[in-house]
Structures are given as C-alpha cells and as structure tokens.
Amino acid sequence: MRQNGPNQAPRRKLIPNLLSSILRVVAESDRPLTQHEIVEAVSKCLDRSDEELKRQVTVNLHDAIIYGNLRNDRNRNDAVVNQPTGKQKNAESGGTQ
C-alpha cells in the first residue's frame, strides 16, 4: 500500500457500488429528488448514515450530472432517459444504414 507523504491527507476508502445505488434510487422514484432525499434513501439502502457516506454521495451526484446519467433542475435530480441513437431509430423503423 502506498504511504502518504507528510502533507497528504489519508486516502478514504470508497463505498462499493455507490453510483449504481444512487442511480437505482433515482430511477425507482416517481419524481425528481433533492440531494438530501437521495442521501437519506441511499443511507437506508446501505444501512449506514455516517458523514463519509454523505460526502461520497454528494461527490457521486455531481459526477453523475457531469457524465449525463442524471439531470439537475432547480436542485432536484432526475434520471436521464436514454435517447435511441441513429442506428437504433433506423433499425426500429425497418430501414438500413
């Protein structure tokens, strides 16, 4: 394991499958959720509610928005519906590309 230098903070242990848990919570909801609601729901799913979980959920939410997995509108987060690509649209309509 890599040793931390004198000016480095200790490495935090990542929570496994956290992003997939967040995406599942948002997808299963019938409405957009606030960050606090997502943290509470993920806390219940993972059966823990420590500050490190809250911090990592916040970081993962921002990443999911940047990656395009979630959409944020007026501090409410919602799942992004996958839009079919040109090839998928063409295949569905029976055409060739």
Q: Which residues of 22-52 are buried (b: 16+ CB within 10 A; e: fewer)?
A: bbebbeeeeebbebebbbbbbeeeeeeeeee
Print pLDDT tens along the chain (97 aa). 556 677 877 777 888 999 999 999 999 999 999 999 999 999 999 999 899 999 999 999 999 999 999 998 887 888 886 645 444 444 444 555 4
What domains sit in the chain, N to C, each tagged with a CATH number?
18-79 (1.10.10)
Listed in sequence order, the DSSP H helices in 29-81 are: 35-46, 51-67
14: its two tokens: 């990542």
Q: Find the distance separating the first CA and the last CA of the chain, reported in whole Å.
A: 51
C-alpha span between 67 and 85 (Å, rounded):
17
